[in-house]
Amino acid sequence: MAEENNQENEKKSPLKLILMIVGGVVLLGLGIGVGIFMGGGDGTDPSAEISKIIEKKENPDEKESKEENEEELAEECAEEEKDEEGNCPTGPKKIPKITPEEEIFTTTYYEFPGNFTANLKGSKKFLQLSVGVSTQYDEQVMVNVESHQLALRSEILTIMSEFSSEDIAGKDGKYRLAESLRDGINEVLVKVEGFGGIENVHFTSFVVQ
């Protein structure tokens, strides 16, 4: 009788062992599945997480330096580049374009004293003008104009007599007369001084009678 009981126990022992192994595997599988589900299914490697924690402990200044750099970048951001919330853009920053300053010259004016009166070409009418000139060259140009007034006045009267009443009609006619006077004045100055320099002729009065 005792032998039969021993045989039955021997038969049950391997079966019990197999059931325990299968149960352990099932429990292990359930544990892994629950862990993955609770962890969001990202398959995070525990050893990698531990390594990150160790790196943060070993390099505590790395995070601080990164934050300091971000603060410096925020300070460097121009006010007009900030978004609606007042934050600096994370993309490329605008680079101001440096343009050379425009060089500006001083204009000097000179008005001939008195009026110029001359008969118009092919007409009984005459033209009376008050004439001024301007330049952006140095003062020597105006010194030359004043020194050679006699020759310049003669040239101005000669040019005026070459224009008819139709030639000086309208804005375009006055502009053509001014250009001719400028060229004539410069020609005289070049002959006597070697340099002209008059850039514009202006009429302070313009009368046709």
Helix (H, G, I), strand (E, B) or coil at 84: coil
Asked whether residue 89 is assigned to any structural domain, the reply reads: no
pLDDT of residue 2: 47
Asked whether residue 2 is assigned to any structural domain, the reply reads: no
Cα 129 off chain centre by = 48
Least trusted range by pLDDT, from 62-76, 120-134, 181-195? 62-76
Q: Which of 133, 151, 163 is nearest to 191 (CA)?
A: 151
pLDDT of residue 55: 59
d(C-alpha 136, C-alpha 125), whole Å:
35
d(C-alpha 27, C-alpha 2), whole Å:
37
CATH code of the domain containing 169? 3.30.479.30
Helix (H, G, I), strand (E, B) or coil at 52: helix
User: What is the number of domains present in the chain?
Assistant: 1
pLDDT tens-digit series, residues 155-181: 999 999 999 999 999 999 999 999 999
Least trusted range by pLDDT, from 29-38, 137-146, 151-160, 175-184? 29-38
d(C-alpha 197, C-alpha 17), whole Å:
118
Asked whether residue 183 is assigned to any structural domain, the reply reads: yes
Asked whether residue 23 is assigned to any structural domain, the reply reads: no
Asked whether residue 77 is assigned to any structural domain, the reply reads: no
Cα 178-182-187 angle, rounded to 5 deg: 150
The rounded mean pLDDT for the chain is 77
pLDDT tens-digit series, residues 45-98: 555 555 665 555 555 555 555 555 555 555 555 565 566 666 665 556 555 666
Q: What is the extent of the structural domain holding 164?
A: 108-208
pLDDT of residue 30: 66
Asked whether residue 11 is assigned to any structural domain, the reply reads: no
